Each structure stands twice: as C-alpha cells, then as structure tokens.
C-alpha cells in the first residue's frame, strides 16, 4: 500500500463559491435536511433480525486524547440514610471536554474558515457564554438513516491501513464494488481503516497520525449527499494530509464549514468489518449540549 502522490496546495473555496450553501442562505442544518421521515422508514426496513452492533468506544481515562482534551472521573459517595434502610448513593463528577472526546459527532461551529463557519455564518457573532447561538450540537437531533460501511482495510488485505495512508476515490469505488454496496443520498457513510485496533492499546501512535480520507475521497463522498461521514480514527481524514501537506485537517473544513456535513470520529467499526456487515440501519443521538461544538455519542448499527 505504498502511495506515490504529488503534493498539492489546498485552500477552501472562496466565500462566493461556497455561500449560500445548496440549502439556501438561511440554512443552519446542512446535511440534517436529509433526515426525513421517508429516510427513517427506509432505514427501519433494513432491520430484519433486530440484532444491534454498538459502534461507540467506551469513555474512560485510558482512551486516546487529542491535544489537551481530558476525561476525568471523580466518584462521589453522596448520601447515606443510616436507618432504617441504609441507602447508599453513588454518582460521579466528570471533568471532560465532553463535546470532543471519545466517539464524537462534530457540529458545524467546530470548524471555521477564518471567522466563517458553515454558510458563511460569522462565528464571533454567534459565540456566547452558553455556547454558539446557532448551529450548536443541540440542534442536530436524532439521526436514524441507512448506514453503509466501506471497508478499505479489507480491500487492501490488512487489519490496519498504514499510518498516514490517504484513501482515494478509487479505493472507495473498489471497496464498494468488492462489497457489492453503493452509497445512497442521506447515508451515514462509515470508513473502516482498522486504526481503531490501536484504541487504548497504543494511544501515542493513535493520535500521532492516522490513515483516512483524502480531500478527493471526501469530495467524492460529499457529491453523493451523505448525512455524515464517520471513521474509526480521530479525524475521519488522513492526518497529516499526504497530498495537501500544507493544509491542516482540510476535510474538516470541507465537510463542516464548506458543505455542512457532520463528521463522526473515533468509531468502533471492527465488529461490523469482521462480520462483513456493510448495510444497516444506523442510529445516533448527540447530547443536547446547548450551543455545543459536538457531542460524545454512542452510535449503533441495527440489522
Ligand atoms: C481532531 O481530533 C483534531 O479532530 P476533532 O477536533 O474534530 O476532534
């Protein structure tokens, strides 16, 4: 899987080329406009046995963290009634960057192009002590749609794609052909790289770099109007970018700030890949964090 690709420069499209978005200048929902009752019914039709496969990693202090993100748990023995029933009560104080740790869904204010977010919304204008006044993760709502797993690791015959392997449109086309699967409008498109096998086993390597989507591959998916793009790595995209080495997380900007397509990171996709389950109903509900940039989530695939 050696890649010889020419380095290119990437900069996001000019404002005039990205705004208004395909959903109109007033739109703040982006790809969630695709979450219709018809799509929910279509997803429900994919449930035949009722089996559920969880696709979320467990939140724990042993998980990998990007930068200074944290998740600290402090147990509290809060109350005990001595008599007559001797009831004890336990809870915990969690100190965490809860929008951006573990398996997480990114909302649009998470990424900007300069001061502009999705649909050229001025991000300082919508910033407040209670989070963002527009496009916060609390506005995303329930996602229940068709999910499709694209197993690029299996296409390449490896358990884990090499560090910084940049997935191309050809890889996606070949993996889909190999699986006899296709992307449909409104899908949750999930990319299996195998990188999730490092989760809580080799955290330093997990966050140092990763294989994932290149810009061309992300554009290829976005042209097919997904509801979200997810993967079993920390940024969904290849990092650092191989073909665009000067650009910092270009797929983040492309998905969230240019096209209004949500990203779902740090997924657990090994079970789906092992079972060769490529099409399913997919469910995820972000936490209602007011004005949040994202949310830790626990997605599931249903068969
Ligand atoms: C990174 O980990 C940098 O991606 P995100 O900020 O979306 O979590």
How many other C-beta atoms lie within 10 A of the C-beta of residue 51? 12
Residue 5 pLDDT = 64
Residue 2 has pLDDT above 60, yes or no: no
Interval 17-73: pLDDT, tens: 999 999 999 999 999 999 999 999 999 999 999 999 999 999 999 999 999 999 999
Phi, psi angles (nearest 5°) of residue 93: -95, 125
Residues whose CB is less than 8 angstroms from the CB of residue 129 and which lie 6 or more positions away in sequence, other chains included: none
CA of 5 to the centre of ligand 1 (A): 25
- Ligand 1 pocket list (CB less than 6 A): 66, 100, 106, 110, 234-235, 252, 265
- The mean pLDDT value for 72-83 works out to 83
Structure tokens at 93: 């104080």
Kindly provide the b/e burial profile for residues 52-74, where b requires at least 16 CB atoms within 10 angstroms of the residue's own CB.
ebebbbebeeebbbeeebebeee
SS3 state at 216:
helix
Q: What residue spans of 241-302 are helical by DSSP H? A: 250-252, 270-274
ipTM rounded to 2 decimals: 0.92
Interval 274-292: pLDDT, tens: 999 999 999 999 999 999 9
- Mean residue pLDDT across the chain: 95
- CA of 252, closest atom in ligand 1: 7
Q: Whose CA is nearest to atom 5 of ligand 1?
A: 235
Largest Cα–Cα separation, the chain? 75
DSSP state at residue 29: -
Please name the helix (run of DSSP H) or strand (run of DSSP E) that holds residue 6, with its range, or none: none
Q: Whose CA is nearest to atom 7 of ligand 1?
A: 235
- The mean pLDDT value for 247-253 works out to 96
How many other C-beta atoms lie within 10 A of the C-beta of residue 230? 28
Domains of the chain: 15-59+103-302 (3.50.30.50)
Rg (CA), the chain: 20
């Amino acid at each position: 899987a050696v890649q010889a690709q020419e380095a290119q420069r990437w900069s996001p499209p000019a404002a005039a080329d990205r705004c208004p978005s395909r959903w109109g200048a007033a739109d703040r929902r982006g790809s969630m406009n695709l979450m219709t009752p018809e799509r929910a019914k279509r997803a429900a039709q994919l449930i035949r046995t009722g089996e559920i496969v969880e696709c979320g990693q467990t939140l724990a202090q042993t998980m990998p963290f990007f930068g200074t993100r944290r998740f600290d748990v402090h147990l509290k023995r809060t109350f005990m009634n001595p008599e007559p029933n001797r009831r004890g009560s336990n809870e915990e104080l969690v100190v965490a960057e809860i929008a951006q740790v573990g398996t997480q869904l990114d909302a649009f204010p998470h990424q900007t192009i300069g001061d502009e977010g999705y649909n050229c919304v001025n991000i300082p204008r919508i910033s407040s002590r209670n989070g963002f006044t527009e496009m916060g993760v609390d506005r995303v709502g329930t996602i229940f749609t068709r999910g499709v797993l694209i197993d690029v690791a299996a296409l390449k015959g490896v358990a884990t794609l090499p560090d910084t392997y940049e997935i191309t449109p050809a890889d996606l086309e070949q993996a889909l052909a190999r699986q006899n699967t296709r992307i449909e409008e409104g899908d949750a498109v999930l990319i299996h790289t195998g990188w999730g096998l490092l989760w809580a086993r080799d955290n330093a390597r997990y966050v140092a770099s990763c294989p994932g989507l290149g810009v061309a591959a992300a554009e290829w998916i976005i042209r097919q109007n997904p509801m979200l793009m997810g993967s079993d790595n920390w940024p969904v995209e290849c990092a650092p970018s191989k073909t665009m080495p000067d650009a910092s997380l270009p797929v983040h900007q492309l998905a969230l700030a240019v096209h209004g397509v949500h990203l779902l990171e740090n997924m657990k996709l090994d079970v789906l890949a092992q079972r060769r389950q490529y099409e399913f109903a997919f469910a995820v509900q972000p936490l209602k964090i007011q004005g949040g940039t994202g949310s830790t989530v626990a997605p599931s695939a249903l068969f």
